Amino acid sequence: MTTSPPLSASGCPMLHGAAFAARPNAVYEQLRTQGPVGWAEIAPKVHALVVTQHRAAVTLLNDTRTYSKDSRLWAALAAGEVPQDSPVLGMMGWRPSVLYTDGDEHARLRWAMDDCIARIDPHQLRDITRRSALSLIANVIGTGRADLMRDFADVVPMLVFAELLGCPPEMTHRMVRACQDLISAGPEAAKGAADFAGLLFELIQLRRKQPGRDLTSWMINHAAELSDEEALHQLFCAVGAGIIPVAACTAWTLHLLLRDDEHAGSLAAGTLTVRRAMEKALWERSPMANFSVHFARGDTYLHGVPLPGRVPILISHAAANTDPSLPQDLGYDNRAHLAWSTGPHRCPAISQATTIVQTAVETILDQLWDMTLTDDNPEPLLRHGPFHQCPQSMPVTFRPQPHDRLPAHALAGGSS
């Protein structure tokens, strides 16, 4: 007999813990019984409203007069009612970055972000991603087994961003380690965030003295005249919003192609591209499961549901993308999904993220073409936490191959 996931002490569905990681869709069904918006516990003693209806989510994300991104409006946090060590504060606490601002300040920071991201050469990005992917494949190609999450999907975007940021080679390893701690969702996450911020500060000081053709140099020298603090948090936002969703999207695209014989056969026959598989994965497995945090400036209504002011409202991209009220024949080529959000805070790096995922997936499929998932569960366990939808692991086996099969230049290195 199937049982419902447990409720919190306050009677709310829980968007955290082992039960949510094991059965997220069942929790979204619980939330939907409350209407287009419902209350959930997102961490111990932390509650938020969660939008699960696609139409309601689009309405909120485009209504900047009613809703703000400034988490300093969070009444419970201001009143000291949120535990100071709550794991959600790293993602929801205010920072002077594009993610937490509105109006003219958001426009200024978004101008800098958009300009800097637009300067990334797409051909160079594909080359960096391919080299990064090949360097990771070289670590496992002779073993015949790998965890696509730990050994590949998690690390590819870290290596790519380290090079895009202009990290010297000696700093790249430290940055990758800090990012790994940051995304762990464990006790080392806070230390990883602090270490990563410290590394970004070092990098900013270095690039002020030695500017290069990299995101850090472009950001600190942009006409928007960002302070060092603003530049640090802009870069923190860019990397944080890039690494984890890109890793999850890479993993889910591979999972889709490896789990389903029909998809794998279509790929081999040339009737299914990696890009189309990725779009299906974005509909079904939004990497950012619940985020896009907003706060109503005052008491209001959203599609008939009363919303109190100064309470965090999360968009469940995962639930909205699988909203039963959406047309059943919408099709996965339709890119109306909310995996990238929408409105003024829509992801500024969709093209770049797509390039990284597509290149990484194509590279590993080309090199380890006979990979097989060792776990045939179509619903792998997720990492704990309310925000990201990412598998804990994805073990595969394949025929061991000699290292000299890879190109000799299959090494990922930082820029100077």
**β-pair partners for 300:** 307
- The answer to whether residue 94 sits within a structural domain is no
Amino acid identity, residue 375?
Answer: D
Please report the pLDDT score of residue 413 as a whole number: 45
- The answer to whether residue 96 sits within a structural domain is no
Q: Are residues 37 and 82 in the same domain?
A: yes
- The answer to whether residue 269 sits within a structural domain is yes
Query: Over the Cα atoms of the chain, what is R_g?
Result: 21
Whole domain around residue 54: which residue ranges? 1-63+65-88+289-337
Tens of pLDDT, residues 200-250: 999 999 999 999 999 999 999 999 999 999 999 999 998 878 888 999 999
Q: Are residues 132 and 199 in the same domain?
A: yes
Q: How far is CA 384 from the centre of its chain?
A: 14
Please report the pLDDT score of residue 199 as a whole number: 92
Q: Are residues 2 and 139 in the same domain?
A: no
**Scanning the structure block, which residue is given the tokens 């000699």?**
402
Q: Are residues 307 and 386 in the same domain?
A: no
Please report the pLDDT score of residue 160 as a whole number: 95
Q: Name residues of the chain where pLDDT drops below 50.
A: 1, 412-416
CATH number of residue 70's parent domain: 3.30.43.20
Write out the DSSP string of 226-293: --HHHHHHHHHHHHHHHHHHHHHHHHHHHHHHHH-HHHHHHHHHTSS-HHHHHHHHHHHS-SB-EEEE
CATH number of residue 268's parent domain: 1.10.630.10
Q: How many CB atoms lie within 10 A of CB 327?
A: 7
The total number of structural domains that make up the chain = 2
Task: Return d(Cα 158, Cα 167) in angstroms, integer.
Answer: 11
Q: What are phi and psi of 395, to 5 degrees?
A: -70, 140
Q: Are residues 106 and 46 in the same domain?
A: no
- The answer to whether residue 349 sits within a structural domain is yes
- The answer to whether residue 275 sits within a structural domain is yes
Please report the pLDDT score of residue 272 as a whole number: 62
Nearest alpha carbon to residue 241 among 322, 171, 183:
183
Please report the pLDDT score of residue 29 as a whole number: 97
- The answer to whether residue 93 sits within a structural domain is no
- The answer to whether residue 179 sits within a structural domain is yes
Please report the pLDDT score of residue 181 as a whole number: 75
Q: Are residues 220 and 295 in the same domain?
A: no
- The answer to whether residue 247 sits within a structural domain is yes
- pTM, full prediction: 0.93
Please report the pLDDT score of residue 415 as a whole number: 40
Q: Are residues 209 and 330 in the same domain?
A: no
Q: Answer for the pair 193, 199: CB distance below 8 angstroms, yes or no.
A: no
